Amino acid sequence: MTKITAAITAVGGYVPETKLTNFDLEKMVDTNDEWIRSRTGISERRILKEPGKGSSDMAVPAIEEILRKKNLDPKEIDCIICATVTPDMVFPATANIIADKVGATNAWGYDLSAACSGFLFALSTGAMYIESGRFKKVIVVGVDKMSAIVDYTDRTTCIIFGDGAGAVLLEANEDGLGVQDSILKSDGSGRNFLHMKAGGSVKPATAETVAAREHFAFQEGQAVFKFAVKGMADVSAELLERNNLTGDDIAWLVPHQANLRIIDATANRMGLDKEKVMINIQKYGNTTAATLPLCLWDWENQLKKGDKIVLAAFGGGFTWGATLLTWAY
C-alpha cells in the first residue's frame, strides 16, 4: 500500500491594516526605536483595532484566501484546528466560530493551546489525521490577537507582540512530499516565566485581579530568552541529525519570530546561511501562533516543490519543537 504523507497544498494569511510602530511606542512607554530594533529586530507590528473583532476575524480571511486559491467549497473541509492563546472567548472554541463564519458546515474542530509553538503542534496533529487516511482536507490555522492581552504600560512586553493569522491546507500526498518528521517538547515547570496570572480556574477574574493588571501576558524576558535559544537550536539540530541532513540540504528555516537574536542562534547551530532564513519580525513582531504560517505566506512564491524546510518554534509552557517538511508545490 502506498504510504500517505500530509502535504501543505495552500497557504493563506491576514494581518490587520493598523500599524503600531516603534515610534508610536516611544510615546506610550519609556523606550526607543534603537533599543527595540537592536534587542529584538522589530520595527512595527499590526494591531486589530476595531471594537468587537477577535481572533476569528483574522483567521477567517486567511482561510478564505485558501478557499479562493484552491477553488474549494468550504463544505469540503473535514477539520479545522485553531492554534491560539487569544480565543474569541474562553469557550466555545474559536475553531467552531471560524467554521461557522467560513461556512465549513461539515467540519469538526477544536482549539489547541501551545502558545508560540501552537502552529507547530497543530500542524503535527493535523498531519496525523491525513496520514491515517481518516480525513482528506484539514485546515490548520495559527492566530493571535496579542493586543487583547498585552499591557501597553509594560515596556518589556508591549514592544514585542502583534496581531495576525496564517493558515495552511493539509491534503494527502502519495509522492512522499509534505510533513516528514517532528520533535515536539513541553515542560510545564517553565509555566511561571511566561503566562497570564489570572482569568483561569486557579485565579478567576475579580476586581482585584483586574486592578493588579493580571489579565495581561507576563514574561520574564531574560529567562525565556535563555530557554528559547537553547530549546529551539537543540531540537532543530537534533531533527537534522536524525534525518541525516546538514544545513546544506535545507532550503529554508522557518523560525518562530520572537527575537532576531534567537533566530540567528538557531540558524548558526544548524549551519545555515542567513539567506535561507525567513525573517519578517521587523514588520509583524511576535504574533505568537501566527508567526510560522505568516512566514510561509510571505515566502510562498519563492518556495519550490521538493524544498526541504525546517519549521522551529519556542513558547510559553514551555513548549518547543521543530518539524521537517518537503514542499509539495
- The residue sitting closest to ligand UT7, measured at its beta carbon, is 221
Judge residue 155's burial from the number of C-beta atoms within 10 Å of its C-beta, 0-12 exposed, 13-18 middle, 19 or more buried.
Answer: middle
C-beta closer to ligand UT7: residue 53 or 155: 155
Q: How far is the CB of 221 from ligand UT7 (least distance, A)?
A: 3
Dig out the grid coordinates for 273 from the structure: 546561511
Cα–Cα distance for residue pair 140/120, rounded to 1 Å: 10
- Residue 247 CB, shortest distance to ligand UT7, in Å, is 22
Residues making contact with ligand UT7 (CB under 6 A): 31, 35, 39-40, 116, 155-156, 159-160, 221-222, 224-225, 228, 258-259, 262, 286, 314-315
DSSP 8-state code for residue 4? P
C-alpha span between 74 and 166 (Å, rounded): 17
* Beta carbon of residue 262, minimum distance to ligand UT7 (angstroms, whole number): 6
DSSP states along 67-102: HHHHT--GGG--EEEEE-SS-SSSSS-HHHHHHHHH
User: Smaller CB distance to ligand UT7: residue 129 or 227?
Assistant: 227
Quote the least distance from Cβ 269 to ligand UT7, whole Å.
Answer: 16
256 is an active site residue? yes
Are 291 and 163 a contacting pair, CB within 8 Å? no
The question of whether 286 is a catalytic residue gets the answer: yes
When the beta carbons of 10 and 148 are compared against ligand UT7, the nearer one is 148
The smaller minimum CB distance to ligand UT7, of residues 60 and 313, is found at 313
Largest distance between two CA atoms of the chain: 63
Catalytic choice (82, 96, 256, 259): 256
Q: Is 31 exposed, middle or buried (0-12, 13-18, 19+ CB in 10 A)?
A: middle
Dist CA 104 CA 96 (whole Å)? 9
- Residue tagged active-site, from 116, 158, 280, 295: 116
Question: In the bound complex, what is the minimum distance in angstroms from residue 319's beta carbon to ligand UT7?
Answer: 9
Nearer to ligand UT7 by Cβ, of 58 and 328: the residue is 58
Provide the annotated active-site residues: 116, 256, 286
